[in-house]
Amino acid sequence: MTEAKNKFHIVWGFALVSAGLGVIYRIPQVIQRIKEIGSFSSELFFIKFCFYLMAVMLIGGGSKKIYDHYRKLTDKIETK
């Protein structure tokens, strides 16, 4: 991969981590709105679980992408 692609993937990784943090920040407000809908109140635990799982996957995938491509970028710099 070229250096520009590695930098793009690092930026994309930060975007994924930011999206995951945004989901975590927004969950309490969304849960309050979901509680107002009577038909979803019985599945509230499952809905919370899904939101938190999505946030963890976004943060985990983004951090892995940052780690992998940052390592590739620094390895190329060190070998030059």
Domain ranges of the chain: 3-79
Residue 37 φ/ψ, nearest 5 degrees: -85, 115
pLDDT digits (tens, 9 = 90+) for 4-63: 888 899 999 999 999 999 999 999 999 998 888 878 778 899 999 999 999 999 999 999
Q: What is the DSSP string of the chain?
A: --HHHHHHHHHHHHHHHHHHHHHHHHHHHHHHHHHHSGGGGGGHHHHHHHHHHHHHHHHHHHHHHHHHHHHHHHHHHHH-
C-alpha span between 68 and 66 (Å, rounded):
6
pTM: 0.84
Contact 48, 33 (CB under 8 A): no
pLDDT digits (tens, 9 = 90+) for 8-18: 999 999 999 99
